[in-house]
Structure 1
Amino acid sequence: MLKPESEKLHLPAVDHEILKLWEEQKVFERSINERAGGSDFVFFDGPPGTNGLPHIGHMMQSALKDLWPRYKTMQGYRVLRKAGWDTHGLPIELTADKELGFTSKLDVAKYGEQEYVDYCRSTVFRFKREWEIAIRRIGRFLDLEHAYATYEPYYIQSDWWTLKQAWNLELEGEARERALRLGQSPRYLYKDYRVMAYSPRTGTTLSNFEVAQGYQEVTDLTLYVKFKVVGEANLYLAAWTTTPWTLLSNLAVAVGPDIEYSIIEREASGKRVIIATARLEALKPMLGEYKVLGTKMGRELEGMRYEPLFDWLNLPGTRACSVVADEYVTTEDGTGLVHLANYGEDDFRILRKMEIPVVLTVDADGLVGQHAHPFAGREFREEGLDVDILKYLQAKGLLLGKEKYTHTYPFDYRTKTPLMYFPRPAWFIRATALKEMMLEANKHIGWKPDHVRDGRFGNWLENVQDWNVTRERYWGSPLPVWMTEDGSEAICVESLDELHELASAQGNPLSSGWDPHKPAIDQVVLKTKDGREMRRENFVLDSWFNAGLMPWGQFGFPAAEGSDELFMSQYPADFISEGQDQTRGWFYTLLACSCLVAKAKIQDAEQRKDETAKKFWSNPVNWSSYKNVICTELVLDSKGQKMSKSLGNVVDPMALFEKFGADPVRWIFFATNPWLSKRFGEEEIREAVRSVILPLWNSYSFFVTYAVIDGWTPSEKKVERTELDDWILSEYNRLISEVTTNLDQYDVGKASQAILSFLDELTNWYIRRSRRRFWKSESDGDKHAAYATLYEVLEGLVRLLAPFLPFVTEHIYQNLVRGLNANAADSVHLAKYPEADEKLRNRNLERQMARVQEAVSLARALREERKLKVRQPLAKMTWVVPEAGAEAELAPYVWLVLDEINVKEIEIRSDDAGLVTLSSKANFKVLGKKVGARMKEIAALIEQLSKEEIAALDSGNSITVGGVELSPEDVLIRREELEGYAVQSDGHMTIALDTHMSPELVAEGLAREVVHSIQSARKDAGFEITDRIAIELATEGEELKQAVRRFEEYICRETLCTELSIAHGSGDQKAGDHEFGVIVSRTVGTSKELTRA
């Protein structure tokens, strides 16, 4: 049976009550097991790291990642929802470094590699418990008991298997020949030496998409440097650099082969300088007065030699310190000549082509080498180093000029320290060979917002580079490639079983429980058939690569038993969600890894002649491991600022849950689409409570209160519903359609707005207009219809809202549904999601009720504007609706408006005659073009138009005045309301209120004010709504006394009063101009309680 509810709702207490219920009833586990025979809805959880606490942005992701799985579960799908943890990579090493006080790899060597790896492992799950608590606390259903972790051996084997697919794939045709010419393997997994973004602070390279996350705007000292040409007196090459430290390793100067260069002589010094002709004008302020001695094309300068800037750059017998022509040189900035060092991708390419030995004056730690004696030991972007280089060059007469220059420079997005571009050995996956597959797959992905597909993500794919999947670090999945010292032979190991077999064949089997991490794996030495040693390439894998293969890595595919079936049943994902920055992170690596596997699977299926597998993997829809993706934006503070510890505006999610409950926090993330930045603070949470939770709760509480009093229970007996009942059922079924459609399209913002709109109609129209049907003492068919209708709506509504607000809906469900039906599902989250019944839709009724609500809204606004109190009844409202047939259509709904607007009579008609007076005035803007010089004359005639002529124009007809045909657009018609009426129009309809006040109306208005005060006194006293009361009213106002006597029956009926006495006196209440006091006392109950008002 139904239990009464407290008027006060304490959401945190509800949360804890429901968390306990879910645990006792094993609701999450059952939501999966009871749908084992249904279709799968697949969701992938991007693995977060757990060596830091969860913040409010993580909670937004948790809310979104919970909404759709709950929704689909209630629709009958099985949704596994396997949790995952990112347990490898640089963030963990940075934590270890900070706590151990390490600043370089030398510290790790002294400490011990095994000890360092063990320490990293010890920090991995430091805050795992806090994460699990936060996930449960926000109401997210997630399989934490069987979570995957990227550092587990089964997951590492999936890393290895994926790399083996790349190892087995090879380029073909011209692409293969080009790779061989560059000295690369044609495999999709290959080793190369390439200038890459490198962090001296961490000693590791960064992938392109990691670099893209860390650019900062900086202002640097830039230098214009002169290079003294060998064999020519006073002739110099001029080059510009934004990175003075790279001059310490200068090995060549590049020119554009088709760029014209001028040889100029500066009047001030007599020195001759070679500069691109196109740059002379821009550099004139620095060059001063000069004359052009001649010009040469860039190809003519190739081979010209110059003196090294520093002694250690003298490399006899090589092409070092010479001019080279290359197409990449432009005249967009600088001098049109580019100084080359091994710290840039194009520089390295050109110097490699020139076969100049690699010179790295700045080493991998970012320090200047000891051989560069004037600057030895200094950090490459150390403050003052650029100035000292400037002074050195200036002293040698090699400085042409200097300037401050603001530009973007790459920083390590994790450590916030500057990167350098450095030639390092690394292993790459040929993402360029997968580009067309990725572009095609992207066409089939549902992006929210849509523009990401061809914008941010599509642009990234168009410019994709081969993916550096290795790092020169310690804590990560080891690269499973063993190679001979000379690089002539190598093997890529696919699994731990294969490695065990290879090691056992050489008499060194792996021990049971052996850990496949560094440094243990580095001790495994394999041999070629001819007995040469092969050692593992000393790299670990990029943690983004770990994350990108989680669709099969989470199951340990293919090595783990049963993983093949699991993988194929859970691929691809129907839905994923992360921040927009993941377009260059997880979203990209998922796609790259799945396209790689798809290509390998197609090749394998063709070799095995497996048409089923070939058909599946040849479908571009399956080339991506996800079908739909939501890209979220930042959660800002209530002022619109980004949250940060330095600003002191970071919020603690757990504290908010305990103060406000989880449901209103969740609602904020749903109320507007998550790809828009949203403000978040306590006021926003309170607004969520006001706008959605309280309307739901108050509707439920209202129903339960009267249902308990009347002992109402659902019945199969058919009820005769009013049009108001039919309307709310129609609107409810429209709501189901809108929410379902929008959730299926991953548009939670539109779904949420539909919910808010419906709750407003339910509470402020249906229940408001139906209150007396529940209040009345008679138990007639109308009352049963009201109960049956409201119950049907509320029961469906809690199921519809359950994925959004899992706690409060569960609480309501347990009483409203389980309290009346013991056979109902044990939890709302095990119940069926509502489906729209089109037979209950009445679109004409919806339209007519919307017109009624529009009229009420207009009349309310008019009352407020004219300061006509809502409790003061008015004699009449005239409702003007111009459309033909409107009177007949709207007449059945007059009863709804009468009480809502508090008028005695409503007249519906098609015109406002008798309510306003009409006057006319020329529309000078329009009419001037038509009548020209007669404007003044015609304007005067328009102001003298008759009522009939004005009425004709107002009806849309034309008239003739002074020989000129006037259309309605030529004349402005002004309306002025008649005395005793308040009139307002919104363009669709006009409302006129009769403001004449008879003594009878005034008296009733006073009586209504008295009723309002008595009801407030009842509430303050805590009386039950069924309590009968006695009323003692005191006032000195004779008019008020007479009004109370005249409407005594009405007052007693409204307040459940059994005794009403009136005495001479006063109080702090007001009715009109009269002051009064009132005492209410309970006449039925265990004691007599008094409340003065």
Structure 2
Amino acid sequence: MLKPVSEKLHLPAVDHEILKLWEERKVFERSISEREGKQDFVFFDGPPGTNGLPHIGHMMQSALKDLWPRYKTMQGYRVLRKAGWDTHGLPIELTADKELGFTSKLDVQKYGEQEYVDYCRTTVFRFKREWEVAIRRIGRFLDLENAYATYEPYYIQSDWWTLKQAWNLELDGEARDRALRLGQSPRYLYKDYRVMAYSPRTGTTLSNFEVAQGYQEVTDLTLFVKFKVVGEENLYLTAWTTTPWTLLSNLAVACGPNIEYSIIERAENDKRLIVATARLEALKPILGDYRVVGTRTGKDLEGMRYEPLFDWLNLPGTRACSVVCDDYVTTEDGTGLVHLANYGEDDFRILRKMEIPVVLTVDANGLVGEHAKPFAGREFREEGLDVDILKYLQAKGLLLGKEKYTHTYPFDYRTKTPLMYFPRPAWFIRATALRDMMLEANQHIGWKPEHVRDGRFGNWLENVQDWNVTRERYWGSPLPVWMTEDGSEAICVESLEELHKLAHESGMDLARDWDPHKPAIDKVILRAKDGREMRRENFVLDSWFNAGLMPWGQFGYPAEPGSEDLFMSQYPADFISEGQDQTRGWFYTLLACSCLIAKAKMVEAKKAGDQKAVGFWSNPVNWSSYKNVICTELVLDSKGQKMSKSLGNVVDPMLLFEKFGADPVRWIFFATNPWLAKRFGEEEIREAVRSVILPLWNCYSFFVTYAVIDEWKPGQAPSERTELDQWILSEYNRLISEVTSNLDQYDVGKASQAILSFLDELTNWYIRRSRRRFWKSESDADKHAAYATLYEVLEGLVRLLAPFLPFITEHIYQNLVRGLDVNAPESVHLSSYPVADERVRNRNLEVQMARVQEAVSLARALREERKLKVRQPLQRMTWVVPEAGAETELAPYVWLVADEINVKEIEIRSNDAGLVTLSAKANFKVLGKKVGARMKEIASLIEQLSKEHIVALDGGNNISVGGVELTPEDVLIRREELEGYAVQSDGHMTIALDTHMTPELVAEGLAREVVHSIQSARKDAGFEITDRISIELATESQELTEALKQFEDYICRETLCLELVLTHGTGDQKAGDYDFGLIVSRRSEESNILTQA
């Protein structure tokens, strides 16, 4: 049976009660086991790192990642929800470095690789418990017991198998020939030595999508430099650089072969400068006054030699310090000549082609080498280094000019330290060879918001670069490539089993529980076919690569027994969600890895003649490992600022859960679409409580309160229902349709707004209009219909809201449903999601009731504007609705509007004649174009229009004035209400209230004011809603006394008063302009409880 509802709602206590219930009844586990054999809904959890505490942004992700799995589970799907942890890579190493006080890889070498790796392992799950607690606390159902971790050997094997697929795939045709010309292997996994973004702080390269996340705007000192030409008196090449430190490694100057260059003499000296002709005007502030003494093309300059800027750049017997032509040089900026050092991709390409030895004055630690004595040991972007280089060049007469320049510069997005472009060896996956597949697959992904598909993400794919998947670090999945010293023979190992076999053949036996991490794996030496040693390439894998292959890595596919079936049953995912920055991260790596595997699987299936597999993997829908994706935006503070520790506006989600409960926090993340930045703070949480939690709770409390009194139980459906009952059932089924449709389209914002709208209709219209049906003492068919209708709606609403608000809905369900039916599912989350019954929908009734509500809203606003209290009855309201047939359609609802607005009569009509006076004036903006010079004349005629003409225009008809045909758009019609009426229009309907007051109306208004005061006194005294009372009312006003006598029956009926005693006196209560005192006593007790109101 139903239990009475507590007056106080403490959401955190509800949360803990429900968490205990879920655990005791194994609700999450059963939500999976009870759907064994059902269709799978697949969700992938992007693995977070657990060496840091979860923040509010993580909680937003948790809420979203919980909503759809709960929803689909209630629809009958099996949803596994396997958790995952990102346990490799730089975030782990940076934590270790910070705690160990390390600043470079040299510190690691001194400490010991094995000791360092062991330390990294200890930090991996440092905050795992806090993560698990936070995940459970926000109400997320997630399989934490069987979570995958990227550092486990089974996962590493999946890394290796994925790389082996790339190793086995090869380019063909012209692409193959080009790779070979570049000295690359044609495999999809290949090694190259190239200039890449490199972090001196961490000692490793970054992939291009990682670089894209770290750009910052900086202002640098830039230099215009002169290079003295050898064999030419006073002739200098010129170049501009935004990175003065690269001048320390200058080895050549590039020019455009077809660019015209001017030789100029400056007025201030006899030195001649070579500058691109197209740049002369722009460089006037740097060059000063000059005259052109000759021109040459870039081809003419090729081979010209110049003196080294610094002594250590003198490389005799080479082409160092000479001019080279290349088409990449433009005249868009600088001098049209480019200084070359091995710190740029094009620079490196050109210098390698010139066969100039590599000179790196700034080393891999970002420090100037000892050979560069004036600057040795200084950090490449150290403050003041650029100024000292400037002074050095100035002293040698090689400085042409300087200027400040604001531009974007890449920083390590993890350490916030500047990157440098540096030539390093690395292993790459040919993402460029997969680009067309990725672009095609992207068109089949459901993106939220949709513009990401062809915008941020699509643009990224169009310009995709080969993916550097290796890092020169320690704690990571090791690259499984062994190679001879000369690189002539190599092998890519795809599993631990294969490695054990190869190691055994090479004379080394590995223990079965051997850990494949560094440095142990570096000790494994394999043998080539000719017996030569093959040592492992000393790299670990990009942790983004680990994350990108989690669709099969989570199961250890293909090495783990049973992983084939698991992988194929859980691929591709129906839904994933992460922040928008993951378009450069996880979303991209998932797609790149899945396209790689799809291509490898297609090749394999065709060779095997497996037509079923060919069909699956050749379908672009299956090239992406996810079908739908939500890109979330930032969670801001309540002022709209980004949360940061430095601003002190970071919130602790666990504290908020214990203060407000988890449900209102969840609701904030659902109330507006998650791809929009949202403000978050305590006031926003309170608003969530006010807007959704309390309305739901109040509906539930209202129902249970009266159901307990009447001992009501569900029974046979009512034979007849009022139009109000039919309407709320129709609206409820419309809600189900809207929420289901929007959730199926991953539009939680629209779903949430539909819920808020319905809750408002349920509480502020249906229940408020039905209160008397529950209050009345007789238990007739109408009362039963009211109970049955509200119960049907509430029971379904609790199930509908369960994925959004899992705690409060479970709490309500246990009483509202389980309290009346012990055979009902043990949890709302084990029940079914409501399905709309179109047979119950009455769309015409929905439309008419919406009109009624519109009229009531308009009339209430009009009362408030004119200070006409709602408790003061009025005699008449005119309801103007211009649509044909409106009078007939709305007539059945006149009584409802009258009761809501507190008027005695309502007239429905199609025009406002007799309520307002009409006048007209010219719409100068429109009419001026039509009548031109006659504007003044026509405007005067419009102001003199007859009432009939104005009515005609107002009705949408044209009229002729002064020989000009006027349309309704040519005229502005003004309405002025007649005296004694208050008129308001919303452009669709018009409401007119008759404001004339009679003594009877005034008296009734006073009685209603007194009833309101009595009801407040009952509430303040804590009386039960069924308590009968006695009232003693004291006033000195004869008018108020007469009004109370006139409406005594009404007052007693409304307040459950058995006796009303009027006395002479006063008090602090007010009715109209009259004061009165009030004593309310409960009649059912021997000693009355009195409340002086």
TM-score range, shorter chain: over 0.9
Q: CA deviation at 1:8?
A: 2.3
Q: Alpha carbons of 1:964 and 1:138: their partners in 2 closer, same or farther (altered >3 Å)?
A: closer
The aligned counterpart of 2:354 is 354
Q: Alpha carbons of 1:617 and 1:973: their partners in 2 closer, same or farther (altered >3 Å)?
A: closer
SS of the equivalent of 1:839 reads coil
The aligned counterpart of 2:765 is 765
Q: In the alignment, does 2:449 pair up with 1:449?
A: yes
**Aligned ranges 1:819-838 → 2 under 5 Å:** 819-838=819-838
Q: Alpha carbons of 1:702 and 1:622: their partners in 2 closer, same or farther (altered >3 Å)?
A: same
Q: CA deviation at 1:529?
A: 2.2
Q: Alpha carbons of 1:613 and 1:969: their partners in 2 closer, same or farther (altered >3 Å)?
A: closer
The aligned counterpart of 1:102 is 102
Q: In the alignment, does 2:1046 pair up with 1:1034?
A: no
Q: In the alignment, does 2:306 pair up with 1:306?
A: yes
Q: Alpha carbons of 1:248 and 1:893: their partners in 2 closer, same or farther (altered >3 Å)?
A: same
Q: 1:248-285 CA deviation, whole Å, 9 max, x = no partner?
A: 11111100011111111222120111111111111122
Q: In the alignment, does 2:579 pair up with 1:579?
A: yes
Q: In the alignment, does 2:155 pair up with 1:155?
A: yes
The aligned counterpart of 1:979 is 979
Moved more, 263-272 or 933-942: 933-942
**Aligned ranges 1:423-434 → 2 under 5 Å:** 423-434=423-434
Distance in 1 between residues matched to 2:365 and 2:304, nearest whole Å:
34
The aligned counterpart of 1:594 is 594
Moved more, 944-953 or 243-252: 944-953
The one-letter amino acid of 2:280's match is: L
Q: CA deviation at 1:906?
A: 1.4
Distance in 2 between residues matched to 1:143 and 1:338, nearest whole Å:
57
Q: CA deviation at 1:912?
A: 2.7
- CA contact under 8 A between 1:1027 and 1:1085: conserved in structure 2? no
The one-letter amino acid of 2:108's match is: V
Q: In the alignment, does 2:1081 pair up with 1:1081?
A: yes
The aligned counterpart of 1:814 is 814
**Aligned ranges 1:93-492 → 2 under 5 Å:** 93-492=93-492
Distance in 2 between residues matched to 1:674 and 1:937, nearest whole Å:
57
**Aligned ranges 1:47-58 → 2 under 5 Å:** 47-58=47-58
Distance in 2 between residues matched to 1:729 and 1:371, nearest whole Å:
85
The aligned counterpart of 1:533 is 533
Distance in 1 between residues matched to 2:470 and 2:966, nearest whole Å:
82
The one-letter amino acid of 2:450's match is: D
The aligned counterpart of 1:38 is 38
Moved more, 24-33 or 289-298: 289-298
**Aligned ranges 1:509-908 → 2 under 5 Å:** 509-908=509-908
Q: CA deviation at 1:522?
A: 0.8
Distance in 1 between residues matched to 2:525 and 2:932, nearest whole Å:
102
Q: 1:518-569 CA deviation, whole Å, 9 max, x = no partner?
A: 1111111111122111111111000000000000000000111110000000
Q: 1:283-314 CA deviation, whole Å, 9 max, x = no partner?
A: 12221222212111101111111111111111
The one-letter amino acid of 2:836's match is: A
Distance in 2 between residues matched to 1:715 and 1:893, nearest whole Å:
30
- CA contact under 8 A between 1:719 and 1:784: conserved in structure 2? no
Q: CA deviation at 1:973?
A: 4.5
**Aligned ranges 1:1037-1076 → 2 under 5 Å:** 1037-1076=1037-1076
The one-letter amino acid of 1:681's match is: G
- CA contact under 8 A between 2:918 and 2:947: conserved in structure 1? yes
The one-letter amino acid of 1:66's match is: D
Distance in 2 between residues matched to 1:362 and 1:256, nearest whole Å:
28
- CA contact under 8 A between 1:221 and 1:403: conserved in structure 2? yes
Q: In the alignment, does 2:52 pair up with 1:64?
A: no
- CA contact under 8 A between 2:718 and 2:784: conserved in structure 1? no
- CA contact under 8 A between 2:237 and 2:274: conserved in structure 1? yes
- CA contact under 8 A between 1:250 and 1:339: conserved in structure 2? yes
Distance in 1 between residues matched to 2:959 and 2:347, nearest whole Å:
83
- CA contact under 8 A between 2:83 and 2:142: conserved in structure 1? yes
Q: 1:882-920 CA deviation, whole Å, 9 max, x = no partner?
A: 223221111111121121101112122223333334445
Q: 1:10-43 CA deviation, whole Å, 9 max, x = no partner?
A: 1111111111111111111111111112100000
Distance in 1 between residues matched to 2:581 and 2:77, nearest whole Å:
30
The aligned counterpart of 1:77 is 77
Q: CA deviation at 1:927?
A: 6.3
Q: CA deviation at 1:446?
A: 0.7
Distance in 2 between residues matched to 1:147 and 1:972, nearest whole Å:
69
Distance in 2 between residues matched to 1:941 and 1:545, nearest whole Å:
78
Distance in 1 between residues matched to 2:103 and 2:984, nearest whole Å:
75
Distance in 1 between residues matched to 2:926 and 2:378, nearest whole Å:
79
Distance in 1 between residues matched to 2:1041 and 2:22, nearest whole Å:
59
Q: 1:1032-1058 CA deviation, whole Å, 9 max, x = no partner?
A: 111111111121122111111111111
Q: Alpha carbons of 1:1011 and 1:609: their partners in 2 closer, same or farther (altered >3 Å)?
A: same
Q: 1:359-401 CA deviation, whole Å, 9 max, x = no partner?
A: 1111111111111111111111111111111111111111111
The one-letter amino acid of 1:507's match is: G
Q: Alpha carbons of 1:387 and 1:966: their partners in 2 closer, same or farther (altered >3 Å)?
A: closer
Q: 1:629-677 CA deviation, whole Å, 9 max, x = no partner?
A: 1111111111111000111111110111111111111111111111111
The one-letter amino acid of 1:530's match is: D
Q: CA deviation at 1:956?
A: 4.5
- CA contact under 8 A between 2:1079 and 2:1090: conserved in structure 1? yes
The aligned counterpart of 1:502 is 502
Distance in 2 between residues matched to 1:86 and 1:899, nearest whole Å:
62
Q: Alpha carbons of 1:946 and 1:521: their partners in 2 closer, same or farther (altered >3 Å)?
A: closer
Distance in 2 between residues matched to 1:961 and 1:583, nearest whole Å:
63
Q: CA deviation at 1:933?
A: 7.8
Q: Alpha carbons of 1:960 and 1:500: their partners in 2 closer, same or farther (altered >3 Å)?
A: closer
The one-letter amino acid of 1:13's match is: A
Gaps spanning 5+ residues in structure 2: where? none
TM (norm. structure 1) is 0.98
Q: 1:313-370 CA deviation, whole Å, 9 max, x = no partner?
A: 1111111111110000011111111111111110000011111111111111111111
Q: Alpha carbons of 1:961 and 1:586: their partners in 2 closer, same or farther (altered >3 Å)?
A: closer
Q: Alpha carbons of 1:534 and 1:926: their partners in 2 closer, same or farther (altered >3 Å)?
A: closer
Moved more, 947-956 or 1005-1014: 947-956
Q: CA deviation at 1:717?
A: 3.9
Q: CA deviation at 1:628?
A: 0.6
Q: CA deviation at 1:979?
A: 2.5
The one-letter amino acid of 1:246's match is: T
Q: Alpha carbons of 1:343 and 1:941: their partners in 2 closer, same or farther (altered >3 Å)?
A: closer
TM (norm. structure 2) is 0.98
The one-letter amino acid of 1:1054's match is: E
Q: Alpha carbons of 1:955 and 1:507: their partners in 2 closer, same or farther (altered >3 Å)?
A: closer
Q: CA deviation at 1:999?
A: 1.4
Distance in 1 between residues matched to 2:908 and 2:955, nearest whole Å:
18
The one-letter amino acid of 1:860's match is: R
Q: 1:904-956 CA deviation, whole Å, 9 max, x = no partner?
A: 12122223333334445566666677778887777666666655555455445
SS of the equivalent of 1:719 reads coil
Distance in 1 between residues matched to 2:927 and 2:500, nearest whole Å:
96
Distance in 2 between residues matched to 1:619 and 1:1089, nearest whole Å:
78
The aligned counterpart of 1:994 is 994
Distance in 1 between residues matched to 2:964 and 2:470, nearest whole Å:
86
- CA contact under 8 A between 2:469 and 2:542: conserved in structure 1? yes
For these two proteins, the number of residue pairs brought into alignment is 1093
Distance in 2 between residues matched to 1:13 and 1:267, nearest whole Å:
85
SS of the equivalent of 1:683 reads helix
The one-letter amino acid of 2:1076's match is: F
- CA contact under 8 A between 2:195 and 2:344: conserved in structure 1? yes
Q: Alpha carbons of 1:330 and 1:786: their partners in 2 closer, same or farther (altered >3 Å)?
A: same
The one-letter amino acid of 1:720's match is: E
Q: Alpha carbons of 1:931 and 1:673: their partners in 2 closer, same or farther (altered >3 Å)?
A: closer
- CA contact under 8 A between 1:1066 and 1:1077: conserved in structure 2? yes
